[in-house]
Amino acid sequence: MGTAMVQLNTRIDPMLKAGGDAVLTRNGLGPSDAIRALWAYLVEHQTLPGFMAADKCEAPRAESLAEQGCGLAFSSLGLSASDFAPAESSAEDWDAVRDDMYDAMIADIEANCR
């Protein structure tokens, strides 16, 4: 007889899920694998992983580029958010960064299609 299992349900922003699913798929994993790995970590270490530390979760923060839908585009160019991060960020700054990034992507696509 197999081990009894329970089901865990959660609601998540569709864009965040799609971006996370893409990362997991590239690494041969699915959402259930990620959740099982997190729960195994919690049980083994009896603490939150560093990225989930209470001081980091409770502090207000600006929306990350990945949460703005830029994660796949940046990674496809081999770039990270820090390559573009303005010293003092605002929504207008990130709009300009996004526009520059898309211009670079379009130029790269056009160069490879000729």
pLDDT tens digits, residue range 59-99? 444 455 555 555 555 565 666 556 555 555 555 666 777 77
Give the domain range for residue 20: 13-61
How far, rounded to the nearest angstrom, does the alpha carbon of residue 25 sit from its chain's CA centroid? Answer: 13
22 domain residue, yes or no: yes
Give the number of other Cβ atoms within 10 Å of residue 71's Cβ: 21
The amino acid occupying position 86 is P
Number of domains, the chain: 2
Is residue 67 located within the same domain as residue 112?
A: yes
Write the CA distances from 45 to 2, 17, 38, 93, 101, integer angstroms.
26, 26, 10, 40, 40
pTM: 0.48
Residue 106 CA to residue 90 CA, distance in Å, equals: 24
pLDDT category at 33 given cuts 50, 70, 90 is very high
7 domain residue, yes or no: no
Is residue 17 located within the same domain as residue 39?
A: yes
Is residue 78 located within the same domain as residue 67?
A: yes
Region 4-23: what's the mean pLDDT? 88
